[in-house]
Amino acid sequence: MVLCLATNRFPTITLTTEEQRCYDQFSKDLLKRTLRAFHEEKRPDLNRKQWAHVRRRDKMDVYKNIEGSTNPRVTLYVGKGLMRGTVDDMMDGLYCDTTEDLRKVKTLLNYKFIDGAVFQVSQRRTPDAPYRFAGIKWFAAKSPLGPLVADRDMLNYEVMGQVMDEHGNEFAYHSYQSIERPEWPADNMKGIKREHTSTCYLYRQHTPEYVECFFQGDFFARGKVLQRVSDYAMAGKWLAVGNAIQCAQAKKFSRLMESADVKLCYTSDVCDVCHSRAKSNGAVQCAGCMQNTCHRCSVEQTIYQTSARTGKTLTENFCIPCVRKVVGGFPAPRKLTSFSEDFDQNRGGSSITDSIQDGSILV
């Protein structure tokens, strides 16, 4: 279900100087804690038995702290591993500073998206700072348990950027902290409950083919969902960040379409890629370069557009040369190791492994 309220129903939030300072300080503290946790993970004397494996997707794992916190309803999670792509693509895929872009990005990230909006922007990216963003965002998503549990929404102060730690390591980061605002109070929509979390992701290039990802997040449980179900769904929501690479590629495919020269459009039953004659169903025109291609030389790809009627992502056909421009060819998967692999030893609890993009969301 996609709600997509009219944008004039959303508030425009203006922050006071003190509110801006407070939100920025929250974000800085969250980033510092996450950088500290990143380095503590590699200490040989770390007590690894305090972490239980929750979920794995491809080369990413999520764990939860089983020692608990001062608040029994708050659970601390960490995630680590590798994602195929580049840091530039990760950050471009996550970036959205308008309501229209937020709706597209959340859909492409494979959330069970209901609606969302950008309420306030403090900073936007520039050519000199392509990862920069700070502002207030809201979005709602379907519950993974259907009618048994109310759908959930979040109101966050979100920050993106680059940072260098005290050891000289450079990271891209993406953080969000739940906030409360009178302009958009919690539980103001029927059937939707507000959730609270603080999460920070760190990214750096591991190899030309893979990005190293580490995140730390906490989650405040309001409902009466079984803990294991809650853990699994929250882990799925955090792991959905891996779909940012596909989102970035969708943006690139749409940019190819925007730059296509329609004057080159012509009808032919000969493939411009392999020069063979197309079969009875004819040639397919590439949306990126307007060349005629046979079905063997054409690939259907997701673009940065969603259906106004269903809210689902749209696709177009692109020739193989255009696809290679965007995805960099078709490299075969290969085994890599990361700093997270020794983290799996001596852990309590049970876990679930999945390799599908199931759109798990907030509980």
pLDDT at 358 over 80: no
> pLDDT > 70: what percent of the chain?
80
Which of 130-144, 176-190, 316-330 is predicted with the least confidence, judged by mean pLDDT?
316-330
Nearest residue to 176 via CA among 126, 228, 118: 118
Is the per-residue pLDDT at 231 higher than 70? yes
pLDDT tops 80 at residue 48: no
- The tens digit of pLDDT for each residue in 306-345 reads 998 888 899 999 999 999 999 975 433 333 333 333 334 4
The predicted model gives 49-59 an average pLDDT of: 88
What are the domain boundaries of the chain? Answer: 7-250, 260-327
Cβ atoms 122, 135 nearer than 8 A? yes
Q: For residues 59 and 362, which has the higher predicted lDDT (pLDDT)? A: 59
Query: Can you tell me the mean pLDDT for 259-265?
Result: 75
CATH number, span 260-327: 3.30.40
pLDDT at 95 over 70: yes
Please state the rounded mean pLDDT for residues 273-290: 84
Nearest-angstrom CA–CA distance, 313 and 306: 4
Nearest one of 196, 185, 5 to 102, comparing CA atoms:
5
What does the pLDDT read at residue 222? 61
Q: Which three-class secondary structure string do you get for 53-66?
A: EEEEECCEEEEEEC
The band of 350, judged by pLDDT with boundaries at 50, 70 and 90, is: very low
> SS3 string of the chain?
CCCCCCHHHCCCCCCCHHHHHHHHHHHHHHHHHHHHHHHHCCCCCCCHHHEEEEEEECCEEEEEECCCCCCCCEEEEEEEEEEECCHHHHHHHHCCCCHHHHHHHHHHCCCCEEEEEEEEEEECCECCECCCEEEEEEEEECCCCHHHCCEEEEEEEEEEEEEECCCCCEEEEEEEEECCCCCCCCCCCCCEEECEEEEEEEEEECCCCEEEEEEEEEEECCCCCCHHHHHHHHHHHHHHHHHHHHHHHHHHHHHHHHHCCHHHCCCCCECCCCCCECCCCCCEECCCCCCEECHHHEEEEEEEEECCCCCCEEEEEEEHHHHHHHHCCCCCCCCCCCCCHHHHCCCECCCEEECCCCCCCCC
Rounded Cα distance between 28 and 19, Å, is 14
Assess whether pLDDT exceeds 70 at residue 82.
yes
Which pLDDT value is given to residue 329? 55
Task: Give the pLDDT of residue 211.
Answer: 96
Distances (CA, A) of 329 to 75, 89, 201, 322: 41, 15, 27, 10
Q: How confident is the model at residue 9 (pLDDT cuts 50, 70, 90)?
A: confident
Q: Are 94 and 160 in contact (CB under 8 A)?
A: yes
Q: Is 7-250 a domain of CATH 3.30.70.120? A: no
